[in-house]
Structure 1
Amino acid sequence: MEALCARILERHRDSVRVQKPHVAVANLVRIIDATLTLSNKQGFHATSLRDLAEASGLSMGGLYSYFDNKTMLLSMILGEVSTTVSEVLCAAPDEVMANPFNHLRWLIEAHIRLTEAMQPWFVFAYMEAKAFPSVERRKAVDSEAATEEVFATVLRRGVETGAFRAIDVDLTASLIKPLLQDWYVKRSKYRRRNISLDAYLTGVIAFVEAGLRPVPASL
């Protein structure tokens, strides 16, 4: 959480009015943690700044030192989720990218492990999306489309090189996305079934690959 909030501070340095970085980051941790916790209980739209002040232990004036309104706070959180996803998915090693199957496996694992590490952030972005103001909702839609395009690019290359069977690339990328989301959205379901993160990863990768392998030519 601290590293993520340090990145938020770096991106919003001009608008955050607290000068000492260690103080600013520590308070952002309290603010973001309170926001994610309260939103999970009662929804972001129903959460007031007074609720946030009480839950974070900061005064109303203290909150306004970091953002002018809830929309700006929302933008901070969504921006960090979107930026982190983009950075992680674009960091595949060259040797992994050389093989479409390996690259696709790497992307699936990287995305699901990221959502495991940032689960409250991703749940917030997913569950609150319908209530976002129009600009933030557009950003969320664009972020999801960008993630799908990362997968579509690998799928397209796999089809072109013959590694994957002929498929509708964009449709397949959009069908993979819910498999990535299910782990953090329906965590309790998998916990009840004693399905671990590694087991879920193995299952998703096997399921996706089964639909991509070329059909052997008839003898």
Structure 2
Amino acid sequence: MFNFGHSINPPIERSLIFYARSPIKLSSERSFYKLQRRLEVLRQSIRAGLIVTTAAEEKEAKKMFESKGHTADDLCRSMLERHADVISVQKPDVALKKLKVIIAAALKLSNSKGFQAMSLRDLSKESGVSMGGLYAYFDSKTTLLNMILTEVTDAVEVALANPPAEVVSDPIEHLKWLIEAHIRLTEDMQSWFSFAFMEAKNFPAKERSRAVDSEELTESLFAEVTVRASAQGRFRPGVTPLLPTMIKPLLQDWYVKRAKYRRRKVSVEEYIAAVQEMVLAACLPVDQLPDPTAR
């Protein structure tokens, strides 16, 4: 039993004891991200006054706090909640409105001149927020960078690591779901993902490593499904183990070269179907491939 003294109320103490008794073994980057998400759910549960003492209660709390969307409002609201200890703006509505303007300006400037070349003075001018106003949200460009990257990496983990129950048992359906979920996520957060991809080479070492870890997490999720499909005999013999690595550029092309597909009037549904078809054509037995004349 833990002794927290008198500063922690009993319900919170019970939640902390439950989490301490059911740890996650840190054996991989993926397990590290799972631990991050788990601690975030605990933090938000405590803030909301929820008691988490069983696996079932943790699952419900996770579902509640991971059901957020990916609009600018959703992402900036998440930023405000996640960094409430350092953001000094007290009025939530004012803070959300201004943070949306700041982030939109930062992403716009990064797209036009690069995040590395952007100064906080440039950001102040583009956003219309004074230098003092900017410092109410972050103390440096690196802090701002971490705030943006956190939302991107968190969105990937939440969106891809929690597949619906109906696809988990079938690795082919799971693979198709992963492709669709990733493309739809980047469609919702196109400017955020473009920023993370295009600017990664200029990030400081720590932040660059974090971006690489997120990329590896995505690949590991695809790898897990493809290994399972091979083990169950769902793939034809000889499918390359590099398949997850080769899928990633197809996913990235949708947000990195978005203008190209917009000019060609390619919808997100058409792109998802095309990527799924290409991937399955590379791995399914010939007699299981869809009939191209049936479309």
TM-score class normalised by the smaller sequence: over 0.9
C-alpha distance in 2 between matches for 1:88 and 1:159? 24
Aligned to 1:18: 89
List aligned pairs for 1:82-161, cutoff 5 A: 82-161=153-232
Aligned to 1:5: 76
Higher RCO by CA contacts (8 Å cutoff, separation 6 or greater): 1
* Alignment root-mean-square deviation, CA: 1.2
C-alpha distance in 2 between matches for 1:22 and 1:209? 47
Aligned to 2:6: none
List aligned pairs for 1:43-54, cutoff 5 A: 43-54=114-125
TM-score (norm 1): 0.95
Deviation digits for residues 100-134 of structure 1 (CA, Å, limit 9, x no counterpart): 11111111001001111110001101111110000
C-alpha distance in 1 between matches for 2:92 and 2:240? 48
**What amino acid is aligned across from residue 80 of structure 1 in structure 2?**
E
Say which SS state the counterpart of residue 63 (structure 1) adopts: helix
**What amino acid is aligned across from residue 152 of structure 2 in structure 1?**
V
Instruction: Find 1:71's aligned residue among 134, 137, 142.
Output: 142
Deviation digits for residues 30-84 of structure 1 (CA, Å, limit 9, x no counterpart): 1100000111111111111011111111110010011010000000001100000
Aligned to 1:55: 126
**Offset at 1:215?**
5.3
Aligned to 2:53: none
C-alpha distance in 2 between matches for 1:54 and 1:195? 36
Aligned to 2:12: none
C-alpha distance in 2 between matches for 1:156 and 1:215? 19
**Offset at 1:187?**
1.4
C-alpha distance in 2 between matches for 1:165 and 1:203? 20
Aligned to 1:182: 253
C-alpha distance in 1 between matches for 2:174 and 2:276? 11
Say which SS state the counterpart of residue 138 (structure 2) adopts: coil
Structure 1 vs Structure 2: percent identity of aligned residues? 56
**What amino acid is aligned across from residue 54 of structure 1 in structure 2?**
K
TM-score (norm 2): 0.71
Total equivalences in the alignment: 215
Which structure would you say has the larger Rg? 2
